[in-house]
Structure 1
Amino acid sequence: MDIRDEVAALRASADRIDPRTMDQLWARLEPCRPVDLIGYRWRGFAFDTGHRTGSLLERARWYGKAFASESDVQPLLCRGDDGQLFSDVGTGHGEASLWEVLFRGEVTTTMVYDGMPVFDHFKKVDDDTVIGVMNGKGKLVFDGGEHFWFGLERDVAL
C-alpha cells in the first residue's frame, strides 16, 4: 500500500484514528514549500482522532483554505447560509500568512494565524493533497495533549 492509499484508508475509516498513526504517517511525508500551496483554493477534511476542533470546523461549515500569496491566506473558508464561500475572519480571528518554520526537526511550510497563537504545518502526500497538523498554544490546538490533524485537496486556481 502506498502513502496515497494509506491516506485514503484513514479518511474512509469509520473507526477513531489514533493520533500516533498520524504521527507515523507525518514522519514519512515530504515537507511542503510555499509554492506548493500558493495560487489555489484547497478543500479541507479532518482526520477523526476525536479532537474537538473537528466538530468546531464542522459547525462553522468549514470548506477549506485559500493561498493567494505568502501574505494573503484565508485559513477558514466556510459556506454561508446562501451556499457561498466566505473567509470567516471572526472564528479565525483574522486571516493568516505562510512561513517556513522548523517543526519536528524539519522546515515545513507553516500557516501562521494573524490573531491566534496557532500554526498549521503542511507536508505533501502528492501534488494535489497535503496533510496538516495544528500546533500552538491553548485548548484550541491541544485537546487532551493531542494535535488536530487535517488534510487539504487542491480545488481551483485563484
Structure 2
Amino acid sequence: MNALSALERFRQLAPVEPEKLIGLWRGRGVPTGHPLDGILENLGWFGKRFTEDLRADALLFQSGDRRLTAIDPAPIPLRLALRFHFLGRTRTARNLFSHLQKGMRAAGPTAMLKVLPYEGMRSAAMVYDRMPITDYFRQIGEDRLMGLMVIENDVRRYFFELERVRDPAEEGR
C-alpha cells in the first residue's frame, strides 16, 4: 500500500472516543514507504497501553517471552533516526536495542489521550509528552484501530494498526 492509499483508507474510517482505547493493544506497521517502516517490528515493538486516566505507554516492547517494557521515547534522536532509518532494520540495531532497553525504561506513561481534529474529523489522538509527535486514531472495528503518526515539521505520515489484546497484568484482579 502506498502512503496516499493508506491516507485515503484512514480518512474513510470512523472516529473513536479516547475511553474506548483503554487497555492493551498489539501494533503492526502498515508499509507505505515511510522511513520507519519495519523498524519498530525489528526492534521488538509490541504496541501501546492506554490507562483509565487517559495516559499512555506510547512504546511497549517485548522483552523475553511474556514481559512488556515501556520505553521513554524522549531520549531517542528522532531526526537522526529518520535520516539513518536503514540502520534500524538491521540485526545489529535489534541486538543493540535489546541491551539499551533497560536504560530506556519509562518511569510512567509518556503520552496522553485526548480528542483532536485531523483533516476536520475529531477523534482520539495520543500526544507524546516530550516529543513532537501525535498519533491520530480511527476505528476499523470494535477491537481494531488504524493509527496515523504525525511528526511535527515532517510531511511524511507513518501508518500502523492496533488490535486489542488481553492484558496479562489485569489477570487475577
Give the TM-score band, short-chain normalised: 0.7 to 0.9
5 Å-filtered alignment, 1:5-154, equals: 17-38=1-22, 40-81=23-64, 84-89=67-72, 92-93=73-74, 95-138=110-153, 142=154, 145-154=155-164
Decide whether the 8 Å contact of 2:27 with 2:47 is kept in 1.
Answer: yes
Q: Which has the higher strand share?
A: 1
Task: Give, in whole Å, the separation in 2 of the partners of 1:60 and 1:26.
Answer: 25
**Structure 1 regions of 5+ residues with no counterpart?**
1-16
Task: Give, in whole Å, the separation in 2 of the partners of 1:102 and 1:136.
Answer: 15
Q: Which has the higher helix share?
A: 2
How many residues were matched structurally?
A: 134
Considering only CA atoms, is the larger Rg found in Structure 1 or Structure 2?
2
Q: 1:129 to 1:34 in 2, by over 3 A?
A: same
Secondary structure of 1:130's partner?
strand
Task: Give, in whole Å, the separation in 1 of the partners of 2:66 and 2:116.
Answer: 35
Identity of aligned residues (%): 29
**Structure 2 regions of 5+ residues with no counterpart?**
75-105
Secondary structure of 2:4's partner?
helix
Task: Give, in whole Å, the separation in 1 of the partners of 2:7 and 2:55.
Answer: 29
- State the match for 2:79 in structure 1: none
TM-score by length of 1: 0.78
Secondary structure of 1:69's partner?
coil
**Which of 142, 160, 165 is the equivalent residue of 1:155?**
165
Task: Give, in whole Å, the separation in 2 of the partners of 1:35 and 1:82.
Answer: 29
- Cα RMSD over matched residues? 1.7
